[in-house]
Structure 1
Amino acid sequence: MNDLLPIILAIVAVIIVVGGLIPVFLKRRKSTSTYAGPRDANDPADAAPAGGTIVEDAPGTATPAPGTVVEPSDAVLPEIDVPDDAAGLEVVPVETPAPVEGRLNRLRARLVKSNNILGKGLLALLSSDKIDENVWDEVEETLLLADLGTEPTTQLVDSLRDRVKVLGTRDPEHVKALLRDELVKLVDPDMDRSLNVDRKGGHPAIMIVVGVNGVGKTTTVGKLARVLVAEDKDVILGAADTFRAAASHQLATWGQRVGVPTVMSDIDGADPASVAYEAVKAGIEQEVDVVMIDTAGRLQNKVGLMDELGKVKRVVEKLAEVDEVLLVLDATTGQNGLNQAKVFAEVVNITGIVLTKLDGTAKGGIVVAIQKALGVPVKLVGLGEGPDDLAPFEAEAFVDALLN
């Protein structure tokens, strides 16, 4: 028995040492993230910073409990390493995105097919032999069903009623021209729909993409990266959607297709503010034109998640001003999209709207309603499932498509 005692003590000592090292290894593991670069991962021009950064305004501040959202002045962001590593992503061929100019015109056929109920319905009513109060009531109902909104509908019907009455016209083409004029006024071609994607003050343009679950944010970021690459912009993507399984790899694959690198965490549930911070840091050091940050989908009625989104924006602003905050909305949700938009606008100061799935609805009036509600322009529209089916919004081309 005495001979076995030294052996037993040695085994116990080994267990204690190994047990002490496991938490250290796990803690270190949680701090890593991956830089998913283009196909040539050894290209020095695509290299990300080798080390991480800790943002700490209050030395010694304890790391908040999981789920706790704190102001940047109190936050200690976990260190994020960004190695030049493709993280096991399958290598995909680099594609050449379609030219941006005229995309909405090229995709007009889809818009015509999906929204012609609105245009044809209105034209059928306004070109009838007798335009009386019943016709105007039907016109108003058609516009409301198209999600135009109460105030814009009243405005359009009153104006059209006066013009048709004064001119006394029954000619369908003349009525169509009047209707087009009124719809263009409502869509407002004078709104600034340009994207702020130019470098300024030595920093890249910073863009954050937000929205609820299921509207297609990650896909929109990938498609928008193709738009920017087609305009000869250098882009870095930040995969700050760290809670949805495979979201980061999905975004990185979009980036690889056009040779755009992605800063991403390899741990589900990593701090999204940390990933966003490192993406901007990499963008500054590599002197790119645009850093695009994809965020996790969140319900607008979840206060904690919305506060976390505000934190992402504030932490990013430690490095550079945020130039664009694009809210992605599903056009098929109609008026519910307005409620979502209002809440997001209160948290992160929306600068533009991206309407997805516009090809799958006859309710094109949501474009007018959302702009009226927020005073923010629709800047991009999604008109299909293809990689280049995202187009800069053009008011007159949109109305022409509505009226076929």
Structure 2
Amino acid sequence: MSDSTDEKQNWWQRLSGGLKRTSASIGGAITDLVAKRKLDHAMLDDIEEVLIRADLGVDCAARIAAAVGEGRYDKSISSDEVKAVLADEVEKVLTPVAKPLAIDVAKPVVVLVVGVNGSGKTTTIGKLAARARAHGHSVMLAAGDTFRAAAIDQLKIWGERSGACVMARAPGADAAGLAFDALAQARAQGIDVLLVDTAGRLQNKAVLMDELEKIVRVMKKVDASAPHAVLLVLDATVGQNALSQVEVFREVAGVTGLIMTKLDGTARGGILVAIAHKFGLPVHFIGVGEGIEDLAPFSAKEFAHAIAGVDLS
């Protein structure tokens, strides 16, 4: 699910605009720090502190500060030089995790989507469906978050909007039974992509784990290789909380990849860098707004430049 050149240019404008709060927060602080000073240990400590505040994580912040200091001690340094180093170092951390979502590994490819309520999970499924449809794939949505009537209704709306068929039951229905029926029907109809929504209740980890394990178990009765991907949707505005969500869902659901949403709503978009550094899980998509076009495949270079406030050359 890749994009044309025009779409990429439009996306860069949306991405750099969406990450403006993060890049302005980092850039403003760096400009203040380097003004009329020569680079010394105290300045590097201050730069490191700025990056930690932007949620890049202690390890990444230390690594970037060290790179800034390399060969520059006791010299004047511009904010643009610091930002260029920041972009390079962030790109190095993110490049190994920037991987497209493979949807040609099976027919249907079964994508289980997990995440806490409020992370933008159901909306993200709708956007993924729209992208897959735009690339010529047939799509089925399974409304597996059976505890929230609103999630079921939301998925039906996205189905109509994107031209995907929707498998839904009454609120409170058995999610595993729904997933089983959806996969059986998707196979029978020759559907390319099956996206399965799930409940996002973290309050009771044991119940959530049981439900997700049951969904996986029953789907394997239809297709032993399913699910082919387990995607965790993360809300960037929760900052450090996102790290613990990755921990929990990796344990509970066997997460294979990440999607980060709402990067336009925070000055702490650096959390994605901390997550990439700590877990090394593939990042498939990121979102910077409400529209269908505001979700796009993740590019390490684009993200690194946008977060540093450096133009793509």
Same fold (TM over 0.5): yes
User: Take 1:368 and 1:193, find their aligned partners in 2: how far apart are those partners?
Assistant: 15
1:192–1:378 CA distance, 2 compared to 1 (3 A): closer
Task: State whether structure 2 residue 237 is matched by structure 1 residue 332.
Answer: yes
From the superposition, tell whether residues 149 and 174 of structure 1 become closer, same or farther in structure 2 (CA, over 3 Å): closer
- Indicate whether 1:176 and 2:83 are aligned: yes
- Aligned equivalent of 2:160: 256
| Contact 1:147 1:366 survives alignment (8 Å) | yes
Q: CA deviation at 1:169?
A: 5.7
1:31-46 matches, within 5 Å, as: none
1:328-356 CA distances to partner (integer Å, 9 max, x unpaired)? Answer: 11111111111111111012211111111
CA distance in 1, matches of 2:19, 2:262: 14
- SS in structure 1 of the partner of residue 168 of structure 2: strand
Q: Which has the larger radius of gyration?
A: 1
- 2:41 corresponding residue in structure 1: 133
Q: Distance in 2 between matches of 1:300 and 1:341?
A: 15
Q: Which has the higher helix share?
A: 2
Partner of 2:185: 282
1:313 aligns with 216
Change (3 A) 1:311 1:401: same
Secondary structure, aligned partner of 1:364: coil
CA displacement at 1:159 relative to structure 2 = 2.5
Taking a change above 3 Å as real, the CA distance of residues 363 and 396 of structure 1, as seen in their structure-2 partners, is same
What residue number does 2:252 align with?
Answer: 347
2:131 is matched with which residue: 210, 222, 227?
227
The CA deviation at 1:273 is: 0.5
Separation of aligned partners in 1, 2:53 and 2:138:
42
Among candidates 108, 114, 130, match of residue 21 of structure 2: 114
Deviations 1:299-340 (A, max 9, x none): 165211222112112211222221111101111111111111
The Cα of 1:368 is off from its aligned counterpart by 1.2
1:369 to 274, 284, 291: 274
Quickly say closer, same or farther: Cα 1:235–1:307, change in 2 above 3 A: same
> What does 1:125-204 correspond to in 2, within 5 Å?
125-126=33-34, 128-165=36-73, 168=75, 170-186=77-93, 188-200=94-106, 203-204=107-108
Does residue 272 of the first structure (1) align with residue 164 of the second (2)? no
Distance in 1 of aligned mates of 2:200 and 2:249:
11
Question: Take 2:98 and 2:308, find their aligned partners in 1: how far apart are those partners?
Answer: 24
Tell me the secondary structure at the aligned position of residue 246 of structure 1. Answer: helix
Q: Which has the higher contact order (CA 8 A, sep 6+)?
A: 2
- The 2-side partners of 1:177 and 1:371 are apart by 20
Letter in 1 for 2:217: R
Q: Which residue in the other structure is 1:402 paired with?
A: 307
Q: Conserved in 2, the CA contact under 8 Å of 1:204 and 1:283?
A: yes
SS for the counterpart of 1:298 is coil
- For the residue of structure 2 that corresponds to 1:329, the secondary structure is strand
1:132/1:243 Cα in 2 relative to 1: closer, same or farther (>3 Å)? same
Q: Distance in 2 between matches of 1:120 and 1:218?
A: 35
For normalisation by structure 2, the TM-score amounts to 0.89
1: distance between equivalents of 2:239 and 2:66?
A: 23
Distance 1:215 1:288 in 2: 27
Structure 1 residues 300, 306: CA separation in 2 closer, same or farther (over 3 Å shift)? farther
Distance 2:35 2:96 in 1: 29
Counting only pairs closer than 5 Å after superposition, residues 202-241 of structure 1 correspond to structure 2 as: 203-241=107-145
Kindly tell me the number of residue pairs found equivalent between the two proteins.
Answer: 302
Shift of 1:222: 0.5
Deviates more, 1:371-380 or 1:358-367: 371-380
Q: Cα distance, 1:174 vs. partner?
A: 3.6
CA RMSD of aligned residues (A): 2.1
CA distance in 1, matches of 2:70, 2:301: 23
Matching residue's letter, 1:334: G
Q: Does 1:292 align with 2:200?
A: no
Is the CA contact (8 Å cut-off) linking 1:207 and 1:323 kept in structure 2?
Answer: yes
Q: Distance in 2 between matches of 1:368 and 1:277?
A: 36
1:172 is displaced (CA, Å) by: 4.2
Q: Distance in 2 between matches of 1:112 and 1:375?
A: 22
Distance 1:384 1:347 in 2: 28
The percent identity for this pair of structures is 43
**Residue aligned with 2:143, SS:** strand
Structure 2 runs not aligned, ≥5 long: none
Q: Please, what TM-score do these two structures have when normalized by structure 1? A: 0.70
Determine the C-alpha separation between the residues in 2 that align with 1:142 and 1:272: 44
Runs of 4+ displaced beyond 4 Å: 98-101
Partner SS state of residue 108, structure 1: helix
